[in-house]
Structure 1
Amino acid sequence: MARPPVARALHDERRAGALKKADIFEFYRRLAEANPDPQTELESVNIYTLLVAVALSAQATDVGVNKATKALFAKVRDPQAMLDLGEDGLKQHIKTIGLFNTKAKNVIALSRMLVDKYGGEVPNERALLEELPGVGRKTANVVLNVALGAETFAVDTHVFRVGNRTGLARGKTPLAVETILDRQTPQPFRSHAHHWLILHGRYICKARTPECWRCVVAELCAFRPKTPAPKQKDAGGTP
């Protein structure tokens, strides 16, 4: 009989030899000391534009999304304005983003649902957010955390990698990693935890070559062997 998701997550954690409680606290403490006030790198002007930006960011970079939405959010800041712009108009703004046709269709559909069902307001519950077209658990968690301050853990590719590689939260699925993070992340780090992990994965614990030599949590991390600093070349071009 298959284990339920939470049970599988806890099994994965025990089997993999996760970080100890004291190490987890120190892990977050060091990330917090290095970046006391982490913020999302997606640009938005309100909860609706945040929702749209996060939905557009799937399989795209935050930099690319920000470039595409700069002009869009200058004139479209609510669901009705998005509907007035229309799907074709939206595509002209986001055509540089991957999967823009599908994303444009979803943004128009979610905007219609917000207008028809919620009076143009973005709901503040995960289950209701996940009912919106193109909005999954990760997107809902980001919106709840960034806009409403909820202690949610959005597991993207960066968080999934960092959790598994370091031993902070080892799981086979994003939900398993999220479950472990939610259970083990202590105060006062819960509100900012997913931002620290995303940024750490984006700039330090990179997919191909983690930069262990400049990582503040390297000695706590289970990853082996540590990546050494690149060799420096002298003025004559020799190592």
Structure 2
Amino acid sequence: MGDFATPDGRGEFPTSNFQQVLDAVVTTVVADRSYYIEPLNILTGADDGSVARIDIASFVAHWPDIPKVTYASQTIGNLSFSTKYGVYLDDVDRDGVPDVCLFVTTNTEELFQAPGRLFLGTVTTPADGGVDTSGGGGGGGGDEAGCILVDTAIVTLGAQPFLRQELAETYWSEIHLKDGRKLRGTRNHPVYTERGKVSLSTVGIGSLLITDVGLVEVVANDYVEEAGTKWQVIMPRGHLYWANGILSHNLKAPPL
């Protein structure tokens, strides 16, 4: 990608390690492996005698190129009590039929290790003799990070796999760039200027944002109060992605 330079010729972006990361990115179009599921909370933990089980309700998965695939309800048994599990299935063909079966894990990394893998969420099984527990969220949980407007174009650096979770939102910031692009997100959504990471709401007019074509000037930053839908972008670890070509930071998947 070459060096980033400001319009007044101040030269290379000052953080050299960060510059090296950006220079290593090949910003060609990559396969969009993202998806979301509905409803979100499809998991129930239950006491099953001497062991616990997790019941998975039927759900629908949506991909950019396959808008609706239905999966039947299933149960995973012989589990430990009082244990937090991540639940996933593998379906490379995306035809609604899992390749093998559904899986549970206590290892966050395992949730992202294969193409065609759907993360259905997390649930903690009840104690022995305890009442049913509920879970889901497709990777949600913990403190909510910044999010972007639904249907924003996403390209992860290095084509890393990612998940999207849909949530309701009313309060937004919307920045407009000199080249005509814009980005609407939550007011705390993290983006990168020539001076480092900042919240979307704090980006000033005249700031230079890091984009997939270099540093571009911000010409407006509007506060918007409008009911809508946002995406949380979730990856197995801290990472970067382009949101409408503007460098952003994801939400790290919660530990199990």
* TM-score for the superposition, normalised by structure 1: 0.27
Greater relative contact order, per chain length (Cα 8 Å cut-off, separation 6+)? 1
